Amino acid sequence: MDPDRLDLVDNELDVLAGLVDIERVRVIEAGCGNARLLRQLLQRHPLATAVGLEVDVVQHARNLATPEARLCFIEAGAQAIPLPDAGADLALMLKSLHHVPVALMDTALAELARVVRPGGWLYVSEPIYGGALNEIVRLYNDEGPVRREAQAALDRAVADGTRWQAAAERRFAQPVRYRDFDDFAQRMLYPSFADHHITGELLERVRQAYQPHQTDDGARFVRPMHVRLLQRVN
């Protein structure tokens, strides 16, 4: 799929809002990272509440250090959610399902079904394997296999039919900008949640692949995304 042929979406919250009524939603995000979208959702919708789950202890500590009304954080993964049954209207996984260990992906989708009420929603947004940015990232972190496993897990969950049914799909592209290679390296090569084993030689290979995209205004890419919306079976 050619990312340049996809509609460009600056804020993924607009995609979510076009699929699900989030005015009074009780939402859980598994693998929330810095919870940027959750915070934006709460700012737009003052009657919504949110819980962010994160397994990265460094990021979790940062989240706790920046509290926000109607948003709480829990150190937990999607495969074992310390929350009651059917307490959420909506669960989110934004670029996070492929980070769940492959052997636990089915368990994670079952857990999310447990905590979402009947008739509620699961919004899963996964990067599409393609595009110029992906060609750089795959030099040190080839996510092709785990992204395929994530889609296969969603396929199994829908085919099983006891918890989730397919409701909608969307594909779009997100703009991504880096000031320079140092900015790229800080954000992409050395995340707190993973060790990509960056050697000096590998760093130079990545730099050479990145550099042709650098302009006076930074380096601009698009990240193609695939959204699958599932509904909790009654």
- Per the CB < 8 A criterion, the answer to whether 34 and 62 are in contact is yes
Q: Which domains does the chain have, with CATH numbers?
A: 3-129+142-173+225-232 (3.40.50.150)
User: What is the rounded average pLDDT of the residues 67-84?
Assistant: 97
pLDDT of 70: 97
C-alpha–C-alpha distance, residues 48 and 70, integer Å: 7
185 burial level (CB within 10 Å; 0-12, 13-18, 19+): middle
Given a cut of 90, is residue 234 above it in pLDDT?
Answer: no
Average per-residue pLDDT for the chain = 97
**Alpha-carbon distances, residue 54 vs 46, 57, 64, 79, 212 (angstroms):** 23, 8, 11, 11, 35
80 burial level (CB within 10 Å; 0-12, 13-18, 19+): exposed
- Per the CB < 8 A criterion, the answer to whether 115 and 84 are in contact is yes
5 falls in which pLDDT band (50, 70, 90)?
Answer: confident
**pLDDT tens-digit readout, 127-181:** 999 999 999 999 999 999 999 999 999 999 999 999 999 999 999 999 999 999 9
Given a cut of 90, is residue 3 above it in pLDDT?
Answer: no
User: What is the rounded average pLDDT of the residues 206-232?
Assistant: 98
pLDDT of 226: 98
pLDDT of 156: 98
pLDDT of 175: 97
Given a cut of 70, is residue 199 above it in pLDDT?
Answer: yes
Given a cut of 80, is residue 126 above it in pLDDT?
Answer: yes
Given a cut of 80, is residue 100 above it in pLDDT?
Answer: yes
User: What is the rounded average pLDDT of the residues 6-25?
Assistant: 97
Q: Which long-range contacts (CB under 8 A, 24 or more apart) does 197-204 make?
A: 197/140, 198/140, 202/139, 202/140
pLDDT of 104: 98
pLDDT of 1: 63
